[in-house]
Amino acid sequence: YVPEILTSTIEQLDEAFCAARSDPAFWAEYVRIMGEYSCRPTPLTYAENLTRHFGGARIYIKREDLNHTGAHKANNVMGQGLLVRRMGKKRVIAETGAGQHGVATATMAARCGFSCTIYMGALDVMRQRPNVFWMERLGARVVAVNEGSRILKDAINEALRDWVTNMDDTHYVLGTACGPHPFPEMVAWFQSIIGREAREQIQRLTGSLPKRIYACVGGGSNACGIFLPFIDDDVELVGVEAGGRGVATGQHASRLSAPGAAVGVAQGYKTFFLQDGDGQMRETHSVAAGLDYVGVSPILADLHRQGRVRFESATDTEVVQALELTMRAEGLIPALESSHAFVQAFKEAPRMSPDESIIINQSGRGDKDIFTVADAFQDPAWRDFITDTARRYANA
Amino acid sequence: YVPEILTSTIEQLDEAFCAARSDPAFWAEYVRIMGEYSCRPTPLTYAENLTRHFGGARIYIKREDLNHTGAHKANNVMGQGLLVRRMGKKRVIAETGAGQHGVATATMAARCGFSCTIYMGALDVMRQRPNVFWMERLGARVVAVNEGSRILKDAINEALRDWVTNMDDTHYVLGTACGPHPFPEMVAWFQSIIGREAREQIQRLTGSLPKRIYACVGGGSNACGIFLPFIDDDVELVGVEAGGRGVATGQHASRLSAPGAAVGVAQGYKTFFLQDGDGQMRETHSVAAGLDYVGVSPILADLHRQGRVRFESATDTEVVQALELTMRAEGLIPALESSHAFVQAFKEAPRMSPDESIIINQSGRGDKDIFTVADAFQDPAWRDFITDTARRYANA
Amino acid sequence: MLEHYLRERLREKGILLMTHIVLGYPDFETSMNIVASMVAAGVDMMELQIPFSEPIADGPVILHANQRSLAAGSSVRRCLDFGREAAARFPIPFLFMSYYNILYRFGVERFASVIKDSGLQGTIVPDLPPEEGAEYMQAMQKHGLNPIFIFSPASSEARLAYVASCARGFVYCVARKGVTGRETRFSDQMDAYLARCRRATNLPLAVGFGVKDRRDVDFLRGRADIAVIGSQTIRLVDEHGPGAVGDFIAGLR
Amino acid sequence: MLEHYLRERLREKGILLMTHIVLGYPDFETSMNIVASMVAAGVDMMELQIPFSEPIADGPVILHANQRSLAAGSSVRRCLDFGREAAARFPIPFLFMSYYNILYRFGVERFASVIKDSGLQGTIVPDLPPEEGAEYMQAMQKHGLNPIFIFSPASSEARLAYVASCARGFVYCVARKGVTGRETRFSDQMDAYLARCRRATNLPLAVGFGVKDRRDVDFLRGRADIAVIGSQTIRLVDEHGPGAVGDFIAGLR
């Protein structure tokens, strides 16, 4: 579902991807780089205090927050960076919503020596200024997209528009397991490093497979990444979407766990989209910018259809509570996105047996979210700090 | 050099530390926890682009920035946390300057179930609000110290005052290799995990030891940590202090690399302090809050005396330049503190041979420093963002 | 039959003109006035874009028109009614242009049925390559409609042949990489590209993306059959009002 | 000899009073007036604190006095001169109190020589435990001065004995954990502690940290030899001026 002009570019990418996938040396090189540049394998941390607190299943946390740049996004971008080298291209573009994928891509581009342009909705540019700052410092050009709702989906559209113009020397580093083929498969493949590690780690630590695995679902790349290596196992897979202000309010981003979405075609691929009867995309809402997206990975949509992955949603309020508990109990600061997975795990763990274990994928770290989290906690000292800083700037 | 009342507390700590040090199971447990809760061993990253850029020595970077909470501080606090459990105490206190050690201690306290109070100079509280916010969210009480210069050294004094009052149930988690015995040895011992790993990694990657190792020096814990395991090797060790606005201006924190400091006794220990002729401590300055300290580890002062470690200084301006280059060349964001080590390495690498390798200790990550870095880069969009956020708060 | 109509028309004119409007921009009444002006000025065929919230193949001008039309409340139903009325009132062929989700949500078969019934000739769907379009092609064929497919300068000979095999009515050749509404250099390279297109199909060739004035149209004369004016008329309406369209079109050839 | 003086004085009074001021706070002239008032009110001995930038054993009241004195520009030299003048003018023993860095930077031997020459009796250095104080003790001994060491309630019997073995003049018993100037409960526990101190040494015992009024002094009578009034007189000067000191001291016993 892409414009005709991209057909050959996509074919070339698909070929490069298939060649890489069937070349064991490629994966080995990828693993080596992720071990030397980021800190893979990321640990699987036993959450002793949360386990005691809930008195049910043993809770393990997969620590993607420890990755370089602070989230699982690093896996995908470094993988695609290797492919870009194979294809001999010199420029990368990417969309970004919360900014994490943009920072990750800018980082990869700096490391790999590519020129880099990041498309970001103008609203997100305003809200996520720290990430914009770092992208620029890393050498990327950040383009604020003033079209549509001026958020993630509009950034994707604009990145596609760049790509159809510059595909000869440019690769589009799509940030999640969405978009035209082969992006969903490719991103999920790179992210599957999460689940491969977790599968080996949980068996080493507990002697068996987990009962359930929880991951938040925006585009779906961290969920695909941890789920897929367990797909043939007797492990229940639970995806948690953004319930926003409650699915009943319509202000949410629950595509699979709530009845609001329908199959459609947009942004180059077919999946469940939050759309109206005419097929126009709806506004979405989540406290977590990275989950605030109308579409969802077609791989997850398919696993939903098969009943292989169960989908739930967590509201903004529940997310802030789960984050607060996790910080105090374990000294971990999951991203607001990741905190969605914690919400559902916390609901279910108490009703499980101490003989069972569960894994929560902590896809990213939350300290990047200070402006949002401080607002969510309505921290008055933070407000004073910002006000004082603004005053200092005004007087400078 | 501590008040009489602390004598028995310090003795107890010394005994616990000596027992731990002579117990191989303790170190093994420490390594296990750092592997499962943080991401040790942290990688040693080959900086291919910087190496090419300077055309001299092969540059390797020890990635303490990938640690949980974003800096080497995690090593020390988790180690002391284990000791606190051994001693059966239930409360920890700590000083913090930039806030990193405070966040690390609050994190350790949450994970270990200790109550936690963090002393922080009132000026630092104002400047480092993001870290204060996270400490509080992690369950710590943060006390703004309104005494003295209202910075790190005053926070240490206040923590000591708490300790002399509450030592029965309280352990003082000193953040660097300073303070009364056995703190310097103890902190250096926990931090030596950095150098032990780096020693093994560089030999695996290059087949030999590095020619030189660079580390920034505030209190000195990251430098002790990476240096000490190489102390008997033919490896040149280079500590880089804060040159601030230039050592000639007097606005700096160079204790060993410049003539301004003298041996003295304060804050419970004897070392080189920046002080006036009467023995009163001087004001210091650095763009990096974590290096802005009047004293320095007595271990490093001794190695300085022996000529075993060479000390240099880097100015604020040089530091910002080195940070900018490192971001663009490698996609790494060293903390402003760590960037001091990069400055000196960048000065020396071009004059070295490509057959030689050097290690730079990236003690922490710089994205915690956005308020400072954005100011250093005089980023107008950041100022607008802060101004807009303040306006939004005012209208809320 | 559309192809037949185009060939007849081509006997009289060296090159045909197809224009493009975004329905409901700035409102439906103005849209109809623009159609009337264009037909009066001698346009040979028109594409009526049903606005979509995510028009990935469109550049800023058409993108904004899509957004404003949607913001003003235009619906697919209203667009279909507009098409029916235009086809009834004016003696030239009309095509709907939209993105696939609009057809998909409406029901592809039902969509084809409605537009056939309304007297339109076919559709252009820029994000539906033929390999994804089996259901679409079947519905178009069933109702005797023209699925307009797209050649691009990046397509291989094999690809052009494949696309040609699915095409009916004419083929839309995008003049260059990129999205609608940006400058295109009509040069020797274009010559070679259009020659490749010509070899790939016997259908008439329309050329769009960046065609904006008489010089561009003159360049295409003899090299292609239909010049497509898209963003430029929207710019004209934006700047000078719907009244300016007639003279502009009349001056293009 | 200080110990002899104290014993003589103790024959006349049930308990002696030692007071404490921070030199140069709020200024040196006022400091001298306070000394005069205190001596007139019957104080038996005084400690003159040379301010230091990092006074870790002091609570907020004395801490602030240190900072303000330094901010006003007081120097070690000026403090030594003050001590010389006070010792010359008033007939009671004076001690310097400061942190070790002040002595260390001045030169420990030189410091001892100067204060001996000035007529002072010794020094209290709260951050110098005897095991770190070899040079200091040697210098004090050489000049016949009294190094005042400290007992704490956390000290073991062995520790008390060791500290006692290094002490001259008297021993300073800190009444409780913590820093100067906070509330102390003079209770049975204190009784046991002071009994332990008494067993550890034959030297007179001074008790400080939190002694603030007549009731506290009365409690100490018979249990110790010297009550030390520190922060409380500074508070008094802060709130009521130097003139209030005399009456306050006079009312303590």
Q: What DSSP letter does each residue of B76-91 carry, written as one string?
A: HHHHHHHHHHHHT--E
Number of domains in chain C: 1
With contact defined as beta carbons under 8 Å apart, do B123 and B96 qualify? no
Query: What confidence score (pLDDT) does residue D50 get?
Result: 98
Domain encompassing residue D192: 2-250
Task: Please report residues of D whose CB lies closer than 8 A to that of B280.
Answer: 52-53, 70
- Measured between CB atoms, which of B160, B262, B263 is closest to D56? B160
pLDDT higher than 80, residue B230: yes
Contact B300, B223 (CB under 8 A): yes
Domain with residue D42: its CATH number is: 3.20.20.70
Q: Residues 6 or more apart from D126 whose CB is under 8 A from it? A: B3, B4, D57, D97, D99, D150
Catalytic residue among D58, D85, D132, D135: D58
3-state secondary structure of C87: helix
Q: What local confidence, expressed as pLDDT, does residue D179 receive? A: 80
pLDDT range class, residue D197, cuts 50, 70, 90: very high
Q: Which residues of chain A are within 8 Å of residue B46 when distances are taken between CB atoms? A: 36
How many beta-carbon contacts under 8 Å exist across B and D? Answer: 111
Residue D115 predicted with pLDDT over 80: yes
Question: Which of chain A's residues have a Cβ under 8 Å away from the Cβ of B43?
Answer: 35-39
Q: Which two tokens stand for residue B306?
A: 């022996």
Q: Torsion angle, CA of B330/B333/B338/B344, rounded to 10 degrees?
A: 40
Helix (H) or strand (E) holding C104: helix C100-106
User: What pLDDT score was predicted for residue B229?
Assistant: 98
Q: What is the pLDDT of residue A378?
A: 87
Amino acid at A167: M
Backbone phi and psi for residue A269, each to the nearest 5 degrees, phi listed first: -155, 165
Do C105 and A275 make contact, defined as CB atoms within 8 angstroms? yes
Paired tokens of A54: 């809930």
- What does the pLDDT look like over B61-111, one tens digit per residue? 999 999 999 999 999 999 999 999 999 999 999 999 889 999 999 999 999
- How many angstroms from the chain centroid is the CA of residue A159? 18
Angle between helices A73-87 and A100-112 (to 10 degrees): 40
Low pLDDT (below 50) residues in chain C = none
CA distance D39 to B217: 50
User: Rounded to whole angstroms, how far apart are CA atoms B212 and B219?
Assistant: 21
CB contact under 8 A, A2 and C129: yes
Which one of C57, C63, C100 has the shortest CB-CB distance to A265?
C100
B298-325 mean pLDDT = 97
pLDDT, position D72? 96
CA–CA separation, B102 and B92 (whole Å): 11
Chain A residue with Cα closest to B389: A386
For residues C208 and C188, the answer to whether their CB atoms sit within 8 Å is: no
H or E segment to which residue B144 belongs: strand B141-145
Q: Give the Å distances, CA to CA, from A281 to A148, A264, B64, C69.
A: 10, 10, 44, 14
* Cβ neighbours, 10 Å, residue C129: 23
- CA-based R_g, chain C, Å: 17
Do D212 and D232 contact (CB within 8 A), yes or no? yes
Structure confidence by residue, pLDDT tens digits, A267-294: 999 999 999 999 999 999 999 989 999 9
Q: Specify the 3-state DSSP secondary structure of D68.
A: helix
Comparing C-alpha atoms, which of B363, B101, B45 is closest to residue B215? B363
- Residues 6+ positions from A184 with CB-CB distance below 8 Å: A177, A178, A224, A269, A297, A298, A299
Tokens representing D53 are: 């930038």
Across A316-335, b (16+ Cβ under 10 Å) vs e yields: bebbbbbbbbbbbbbbbbbb
CB atoms within 10 A of CB C162: 18
pLDDT at A151: 87
b/e burial code for range B161-199 (CB count within 10 A of at least 16 → b)? bbbbbbbeebbbbbbbbbbbbbbbbbbbbbbbbbbbbbb
Query: Is the Cβ of C167 closer than 8 Å to some Cβ of chain A?
Result: no
pTM of the model: 0.95
Tokens of A63: 């620590």
Asked if B201 and B195 count as a contact pair (C-beta separation under 8 A), the reply is no
Q: Say if the Cβ atoms of B8 and D156 lie within 8 Å.
A: yes
The chains in contact with chain B, meaning 3 or more Cβ pairs closer than 8 Å, are A, D
Which residue on chain B is closest to A331 by alpha carbon? B107
Q: Please report residues of D whose CB lies closer than 8 A to that of B6.
A: 154
The CA distance from B368 to C245, in Å, is 57
Helical (H) or strand (E) element with B200: helix B183-206
Which pLDDT belongs to residue C182?
77
Among residues C137, C173, C167, the alpha carbon closest in space to that of C2 is found at: C167
B342 vs A393: CA distance, rounded Å: 30
Residues A14-31: pLDDT tens digits?
999 999 999 999 999 999
Q: Which pLDDT belongs to residue B256?
A: 96
Residue A140 pLDDT:
98
Tell whether the model's pLDDT for residue A149 goes beyond 90: no
- pLDDT of the residue at C186: 75
Q: How far apart are alpha carbons B301 and B284 in whole angstroms?
A: 18
Contact B137 A66 (CB under 8 A): no
pLDDT at D183 exceeding the cut of 80: no
Q: Is D47 designated active site?
A: yes
Contacts 24+ apart (CB under 8 A), D73-78: D74/D23, D74/D24, D74/D28, D75/B278, D76/B278, D76/B279, D76/D50, D76/D102, D76/D105, D76/D106, D77/B278, D78/D23, D78/D24, D78/D28
User: With 90 as the cut, is the pLDDT of residue D114 above it?
Assistant: yes
The pLDDT value recorded for residue C189 is 80
- For B270, the 3-state DSSP assignment is strand
Does A252 score more than 80 pLDDT? Answer: yes
Q: What are the structure tokens assigned to D24, written together?
A: 């140069």
Q: In this structure, are residues B159 and B172 in contact, taking their beta carbons and an 8 Å threshold?
A: yes
Phi then psi for B272, rounded to 5 degrees? -80, 125
Query: Touching check for B52 and chain A: CB below 8 Å?
Result: no
Which residue blocks in chain A are alpha helix, DSSP H? 7-21, 24-36, 48-54, 73-87, 100-112, 122-127, 129-137, 152-166, 183-206, 221-227, 298-306, 316-330, 336-348, 370-376, 380-395
Q: How far apart are CA B65 and CA B82, in angstroms?
A: 22
Residue C134 backbone phi and psi in degrees, to 5? -55, -50
Checking if the pLDDT of D184 tops 80, the result is no
Q: Is A286 a catalytic residue?
A: no
The partner residue sitting opposite B45, judged by closest CB among A36, A329, A331, is A36
Nearest alpha-carbon partner for C108 in C131, C135, C81, C127 = C135
Distance, in Å, from the CA atom of B15 to the CA atom of B12, rounded to the nearest integer, reads 5
From chain B, the residues in CB contact with A43 under 8 A are: 35-39
In residues, how long is chain A?
Answer: 396
Per CB-CB distance under 8 Å, the chain A contacts of B368 are 367
Separation between Cα atoms, residue C217 and residue B96, nearest integer Å: 72
Decide if D152 and B4 are in contact by the 8 Å CB cutoff: yes
Q: Side chain identity at B315, as an amino acid letter?
A: T
Contact exists between D and B (3 or more beta carbon pairs < 8 Å): yes
| Structure tokens, C10 | 């081509």
> How far is B272 from chain A, CA to nearest CA, in Å?
35
Nearest alpha carbon to residue B90 among B108, B116, B111: B116
Residue C183's pLDDT is what? 76
Q: How far apart are CA A206 and CA A189, in angstroms?
A: 26
**Partner residue opposite C52 with nearest CB, options A153, A165, A280:** A280
Interface of B with A in 58-87 (CB under 8 A): 63, 66-68, 70
Confidence of residue D140 (pLDDT cuts 50, 70, 90): very high
Average per-residue pLDDT in chain B?
95
Across residues D48-71, what is the average pLDDT? 94
Q: How far apart are CA C231 and CA A291, in angstroms?
A: 34
Which of B25, B118, B136 has its CA nearest to residue B77? B118
B64 touches B94 (CB < 8 A): no
Kindly report the nearest CA distance between residue A80 and chain B, in angstroms: 16
Interface of B with A in 133-152 (CB under 8 A): 133-134, 137-139
pLDDT 10s digits, B2-51 = 999 999 999 999 999 999 999 999 999 999 999 999 999 999 999 999 99
Two tokens, residue B54: 């300077």
Q: Which residues of C touch A121 (CB under 8 A)?
A: none
Angle made by CA atoms C1, C3, C9, in degrees to the nearest 5: 105
pLDDT of D186 over the 80 cut: no
* Mean pLDDT confidence for A224-238: 98
Is-contact A209 A199, C-beta < 8 A?
yes
| Model confidence band, residue A260 (pLDDT cutoffs 50, 70, 90) | confident
- Per cent of chain A over pLDDT 70 is 100
Sign of the alpha-carbon dihedral angle for D75, D80, D84, D87: positive
Per-residue pLDDT reduced to its tens digit, D21-46: 999 999 999 999 999 999 999 999 99
Give dist(CA A366, CA D245) in Å, integer: 57
Q: Which of C53, C100, C154 sits opposite A280 (nearest CB)?
A: C53
Catalytic residues of C: 47, 58
- Please provide the DSSP assignment of D148-186 as one string: EEEE-TT--HHHHHHHHHH--S-EEEE-SSS-TTS----
B73-87 helix and B100-112 helix, angle to the nearest 10 degrees: 40
Of residues C148, C143, C151, C50, the one with CA closest to residue C101: C50
Q: What is the pLDDT of residue C179?
A: 80
Give the mean pLDDT of A219-228: 98
Q: Does A29 touch chain B (CB under 8 A)?
A: no
**Shortest Cα distance from A3 to chain C (angstroms)?**
5
The predicted pLDDT at position D73 comes to 96
Q: So what's the pLDDT on residue B55?
A: 97
CA distance A214 to A33: 27
Q: Is 80 exceeded by the pLDDT of residue A322?
A: yes
Top residue of A14, A146, A161, A165 to mutate, by most chain C CBs within 10 Å, is: A161
What is the per-residue pLDDT across C216-233, written as a single tens digit (0 to 9) for each?
999 999 999 999 998 888
Question: Which is catalytic among the residues A62, A73, A89, A368?
Answer: A73
Catalytic, A95? Answer yes
Is there a contact between A266 and C101 if contact means CB atoms under 8 Å apart? yes
